[in-house]
Amino acid sequence: MQNTYSIQAFGKLIGKSTKTLQKWDRDGKLVAHRSPQSNRRYYTHDQYLEYRGLKAPEQGRTIVYARVSGVSQKPDLTNQMTALQAYCTAHEITVDEWVQDIGSGLNYKRKGFNHVMEMVELGQVRTIIIAHKDRLVRFGYDYFEAFCERHHTQLVLLHGDHLSPEQELVRDLIAIITVFSTRLHGLRSYKKVMKDAALQKDQD
């Protein structure tokens, strides 16, 4: 279900007064929805996108997204793209854009990934096709799936386990353990500093 806004919140969002929105509703310029319980006006995120001129044509774009963690895995990236292309050909899917990333599934700052998510947010994408869930993100896939649904974008998975390199999972798990180990060491060091400071204060 997409986000909705009260008339006051929507007015702030687009820089218009409540009275202006009420007039536009009456004149049919920007017709508000009505709550069945209270009959109050409300607006949807689609209406916001449309007002800003960001709403894509109804058909939207079809994007194929592929990812591997490192440069050494370029052959795996080629395998992904080959499988994705074969899938699209078999299902007679016209692809508007092919996007590839080389970067960890734990990294949400990937150039291609952010490019795709920005297009989704702007309502420009109808379908994203990926080989496996972890090709999009290693963790938190359900969040991004819900995000896409709110913007009327469908995620299509090939569920190709052979297209999800096992060494990537090992590498990502090691990265997580390293981060937490570093933070734990830092926490212990911090506690020691605080303890030493407290002892010094007592001695003073």
Spatial neighbors of 119 by CB under 8 A, at least 6 apart, are 61, 63, 125
189 annotated active-site: no
- The HSE-up count of residue 109 (CA atoms within 13 Å, CB side) is 0
Structure-token pair, residue 166: 């096992």
Catalytic residue among 6, 17, 69, 181: 69
Looking at the annotation, which residues are catalytic? 69
